[in-house]
Structure 1
């Protein structure tokens, strides 16, 4: 009995600490995303040039992927979680002080590298907490990420209107990151979850993981596109430079939080396949409204529905990967992230160039297609509900 109480207390404490890291990750990414229009204007970048510069962040992420799983397997996710925040502490001020596209690209590379290391490490922590508490709560962790993302988006829009420079803004966020990491480190799980089976460090993902990885690719491409381009699109539709240009982005973030708060309960009722199918159809519906009804209110509603659709795609897939019976948790998550981050790699550049040669409206139509593709792929998942 005492052992059970002790394990439950450990799980709850680690859950709080892991939630703090998810919050840190969300507010940091949204803080940067909210200042993209300012950096675009400051450096006088075209849509295509901006897309090329944004390419540096997912390159940093992909650079981290081959080593993230191995480092976590060797040194533990707790240590890698803390080390990853040091990249945030350094990279965020560098983003704000960039005076050229090259300097911005270098800062984005290190920001992306740290982001992916943190993403995998904190999700391995989340899998361990799920195991200790013996229930699915991955969606709730990602809900906290979305809370941080929402706060960062709303706060970023407000701060920008006050005339605070990107450098001042991002220095403050980087300092907050380091403070949170120092406080929570001792409460994270020291030992990562391992199944009863002897999982290999290197293995070929099974069919289920491959399909889930492709769906993750679609979802993360959409998330990346929304983070990088939604503010600019809403600004064009609003046609009012003095208006609250992050309204659509904020709606996206709010509905993503709502979806993730209830995501674990929905999963219990519908099962993995039906939940993912519903998510993908909502992405299709939301982006269709935002693209084909070009009115500020419609765009806000459409972006909100899109956020609701995307809300549980990544957490559900990450949870499935983390509990893989054929690969170690960190390595399985890295494998899934390889396909997912590829969405971030292709998405911003693709949207930028399509926007340059056609229009941002046409470029964002690609997200409608991805919603349909994801819907089809969910019917091919070889899992038992």
Structure 2
């Protein structure tokens, strides 16, 4: 009985600490994103030059992914989360200090590297908390990330309007990150979840994990496309081009948070396969409404439904990968994340090229088919 109480307290404390890390990750990324226009103006970058420089961050992320799985397996996610927070503490001020495209690209590479170390490590911690509490709570962690992201974006806009420099803004965020990291460290789980003590570090993913990875790829591709192109599409079909052009993306973002808040309860009621099927069908329905009806109200409704559909795809797949019986949790999550980030990077580029040669409306129609593809793939995984 006493052991059970101790385990329960450990689980509660670890959940709070892990939530703090998800919040930290969201607010940090959004804080940087809110200052991109200021850095563009400061460095006098063209759109093309800015796009090239910004690509350094995902390169840093992809560089970290194969390393993250190995070092988390060897040293534990608890230590690696704190290492990642230290990288944030260093990288954020460096972003604000950048005086040339080269120094900005180097800083973004470091920031991207730290972001994915933190991403994998904190998700491994989340899997461990799920194991202790014996229920799925991964979606709630990602909801906290989304809340942190929305808060960071809102505060970033306010701070920028007050004339506070990018450097001072990001120094403050980096300092808050470090304080959160220090406060959370002692409450994180000491040992990561392992399904099997003889689990190999390197192994071929099983069929279900591969399918989940492809679904994650489709979901993140949709997220990337919506993040970069939804505002432009909404503006194109508005009667008043000077109106609230972000209404569609706002609906998308808010309903994504709502979906993540209730995602764990839905999973408990329907199981993994049915929940993912619902997610993918919602993406299909939402984008169909937004594209085929094509008036501002329909687009807001459609984008909102799409956000609801995409909300729990990544959290549920991360949770399932973390409980893999064929691969170590950190390695499995790194493999899934690699596919997910690849989709997130490919999405905006794919939409851009299709829009250039066809139209933005036709380009975004591809997300309808991705929703159907995801729904089809969910029928191929084991029901649970």
TM-score, reference length from structure 2: 0.89
Give me the whole-angstrom Cα distance separating, in 1, the residues matched to 2:256 and 2:263: 10
Report if aligned partners of 2:146, 2:257 keep a CA contact under 8 Å in 1.
yes
Shift of 1:236: 5.7
Change (3 A) 1:33 1:310: farther
Other structure's SS at 2:383 match? coil
* Whole-Å separation in 2 of the counterparts to 1:290 and 1:49: 32
What are the residue-to-residue correspondences of 1:167-186 with 2, within 5 Å?
167-186=167-186
Q: State the partner residue of 1:313.
A: 313
Number of the residue aligned with 1:16: 16
Q: CA deviation at 1:7?
A: 0.5
Q: Greater CA deviation, 103-112 or 31-40? A: 31-40
**Aligned 8 A contact 1:143 1:257 in 2:** yes
Q: Structure 1 residues 166, 225: CA separation in 2 closer, same or farther (over 3 Å shift)?
A: farther
CA distance in 2, matches of 1:170, 1:239: 38
Matched position secondary structure for 1:199: coil
- Mean Cα deviation higher: 344-353 or 59-68: 344-353
What is the aligned-residue RMSD (CA, Å)? 2.8
Aligned-pair distance for 1:171? 3.3
1:332 deviates by: 1.0
In structure 2, do the counterparts of structure 1 residues 243 and 81 end up closer, same or farther at CA, with 3 Å as the change threshold? Answer: farther
1:104 is displaced (CA, Å) by 3.6
Do residues 117 (structure 1) and 113 (structure 2) align?
no
1:229, CA displacement in angstroms?
Answer: 4.1
Residue in structure 2 matched with residue 384 of structure 1 by the alignment: 383
The reply to whether residue 45 of structure 1 matches residue 46 of structure 2 is: yes
Give the total of aligned pairs: 383
State which drifts further: 336-345 or 94-103: 94-103
C-alpha separation in 1, matches of 2:340 and 2:72: 19
The residue that corresponds to 1:187 in the other structure is 187
For 1:96 and 1:12, the matched residues in 2 are separated by 36
Q: Is this contact kept in 2: 1:30–1:227, CA < 8 A?
A: no
Q: Could you say which residue in structure 2 is the equivalent of 1:287? A: 287
Cα distance in 1 for partners of 2:296, 2:165 equals 27
Q: 2:77 touches 2:192 (CA, 8 Å); kept in 1?
A: yes
Matched ranges for 1:78-89 at <5 A: 78-89=78-89
Counterpart Cα distance in 1 of 2:75 and 2:94 = 28
1:90-141 CA distances to partner (integer Å, 9 max, x unpaired)?
A: 3333444545544443332222211111111001101111111111111111
- In the alignment, the residues of structure 2 paired with residue 173 and residue 247 of structure 1 have an alpha-carbon distance, to the nearest angstrom, of 28
Deviation at 1:186, TM superposition (A): 1.1
Show structure 1 runs of 5+ residues with no match. none
> How much does 1:235 deviate?
5.7
> Which deviates more, 111-120 or 83-92?
83-92
Which residue pairs with 2:71 in the alignment? 71
Q: TM-score, normalised by structure 1?
A: 0.89
C-alpha distance in structure 1 between counterparts of 2:372 and 2:214, whole Å: 13
Tell me the equivalent position of 2:329: 329
Distance change (3 Å), C-alpha of 1:191 and 1:374: same
Structure 1 residues 244 and 113: CA distance shift in structure 2, 3 A: farther
Separation (CA, whole Å) in 1 of partners of 2:160 and 2:61: 27
Q: What stretches of structure 2 of length at least 5 have no aligned partner? A: none
Would you say the 8 A contact 2:273–2:383 is kept in 1? Answer: no
> Does structure 2 retain, via aligned residues, the 8 Å contact 1:76–1:192?
yes
